[in-house]
Structure 1
Amino acid sequence: MSKILTTHVGSLPRTQDVVDFIFARENEKPYDQADFDACMTAAVSETVKKQVDAGVDIVSDGETSKISYATYVKDRYTGFSGDSPRNAPADLKMFPGFLQRLADDGGTPQYARPMCTGEVRSKGQGELEKDIANLKAAMAEHGAERGFMNAASPGVISLFLQNDFYKTREAYLAALADAMKAEYETIVASGLDLQLDCPDLALSRHMLFNDLSDEEFVKVANMHVEALNHALSDVPADKVRVHICWGNYEGPHCCDIGMDKVFSTLMSTKSRFVLFETSNPRHAHEWTVFRDRKTEIPDDKVLVPGVVDTTTNFVEHPELVAQRIDMFTQIVGADRVIAGSDCGFGTFAGFGAVDPDIAYAKLSALSDGAKIASERQ
Structure 2
Amino acid sequence: MSKIEVTHVGSLPRTQKVVDYIFARENGDDYEVAAFDAAMTEAVNDTVRKQVDAGVSIVSDGETSKISYATYVKDRYTGFSGDSPRNAPADLKLYPSFLKRIAESGGTPKYARPMCTGEVRSKGQGELEKDIANLKAAMAANGVERGFMNAASPGVISLFLQNDFYSSREAYLEALAEVMKAEYETIVGAGLDLQLDCPDLALSRHMLFTDLSDEEFLKIAASHIEALNHALQNIDPANVRIHICWGNYEGPHVCDISMDKVFSTLMSARARYVLFETSNPRHAHEWSVFRDRKSEIPEDKILVPGVVDTTTNFVEHPEAVAQRLDRFVDIVGSDRVIAGSDCGFGTFAGFGAVDPEIAYAKLGALAEGAAIAGERA
For Structure 1 versus Structure 2, the TM-score category normalised by the shorter chain is: over 0.9
Structure 1: give runs of 5+ residues left out of the alignment: none
Within-5 A mapping of 1:342-357? 342-357=342-357
Give the distance between the partners of 2:253 and 2:206, measured in 1 at CA: 9
Within-5 A mapping of 1:28-107? 28-107=28-107
Residue 145 of structure 1 is matched in structure 2 by 145
Residue 320 of structure 2 is matched in structure 1 by 320
Give the distance between the partners of 2:341 and 2:226, measured in 1 at CA: 26
Residue 162 of structure 1 is matched in structure 2 by 162
Confirm whether residue 230 of structure 1 aligns to residue 269 of structure 2.
Answer: no
Give the distance between the partners of 1:180 and 1:239, measured in 2 at CA: 16
TM-score by length of 1: 1.00
Give the distance between the partners of 1:66 and 1:193, measured in 2 at CA: 18
Identity of aligned residues (%): 81
Residue 17 of structure 2 is matched in structure 1 by 17
Confirm whether residue 283 of structure 1 aligns to residue 283 of structure 2.
Answer: yes
Matched residue of 1:286: which SS?
helix
Matched residue of 2:101: which SS?
helix
Confirm whether residue 306 of structure 1 aligns to residue 291 of structure 2.
Answer: no
Matched residue of 1:265: which SS?
helix
Give the distance between the partners of 2:338 and 2:284, measured in 1 at CA: 17
Structure 2: give runs of 5+ residues left out of the alignment: none
Q: CA deviation at 1:309?
A: 0.2
User: Which residue identity lines up with residue 281 of structure 2 in the other structure?
Assistant: P
Give the distance between the partners of 1:101 and 1:23, measured in 2 at CA: 25
Residue 124 of structure 1 is matched in structure 2 by 124
Deviation string 1:230-288 (CA, Å, 9 cap, x unpaired) is 00000110000000000000000000000000000000000000000000000000000
Matched residue of 2:48: which SS?
helix
User: Which residue identity lines up with residue 284 of structure 1 in the other structure?
Assistant: A
User: Which residue identity lines up with residue 40 of structure 2 in the other structure?
Assistant: M
Matched residue of 2:303: which SS?
strand
Give the distance between the partners of 2:200 and 2:189, measured in 1 at CA: 26
Residue 4 of structure 1 is matched in structure 2 by 4
User: Which residue identity lines up with residue 109 of structure 1 in the other structure?
Assistant: P
Give the distance between the partners of 1:223 and 1:337, measured in 2 at CA: 28
Confirm whether residue 176 of structure 1 aligns to residue 176 of structure 2.
Answer: yes
Matched residue of 2:138: which SS?
helix
Matched residue of 2:195: which SS?
strand
Q: CA deviation at 1:2?
A: 1.3
Residue 294 of structure 2 is matched in structure 1 by 294
Residue 372 of structure 1 is matched in structure 2 by 372
Residue 198 of structure 1 is matched in structure 2 by 198
CA root-mean-square deviation: 0.3
Runs of 4+ more than 2 Å apart: none
Q: CA deviation at 1:210?
A: 0.2
Q: CA deviation at 1:87?
A: 1.1
Q: CA deviation at 1:117?
A: 0.3
Give the distance between the partners of 2:283 and 2:147, measured in 1 at CA: 27
Matched residue of 2:274: which SS?
strand
Give the distance between the partners of 2:118 and 2:191, measured in 1 at CA: 33
Matched residue of 2:208: which SS?
coil
Q: How many residue pairs get matched? A: 377
Residue 246 of structure 1 is matched in structure 2 by 246
Q: CA deviation at 1:85?
A: 1.1
Residue 209 of structure 2 is matched in structure 1 by 209
Confirm whether residue 186 of structure 1 aligns to residue 186 of structure 2.
Answer: yes
Residue 265 of structure 2 is matched in structure 1 by 265
Matched residue of 1:150: which SS?
strand
Deviation string 1:175-200 (CA, Å, 9 cap, x unpaired) is 00000000000000000000000000
Matched residue of 2:256: which SS?
coil
Matched residue of 2:148: which SS?
strand
Give the distance between the partners of 1:374 and 1:329, measured in 2 at CA: 9
Q: CA deviation at 1:55?
A: 0.4
Matched residue of 1:245: which SS?
coil
Q: CA deviation at 1:34?
A: 0.3
User: Which residue identity lines up with residue 17 of structure 1 in the other structure?
Assistant: K
User: Which residue identity lines up with residue 328 of structure 2 in the other structure?
Assistant: F
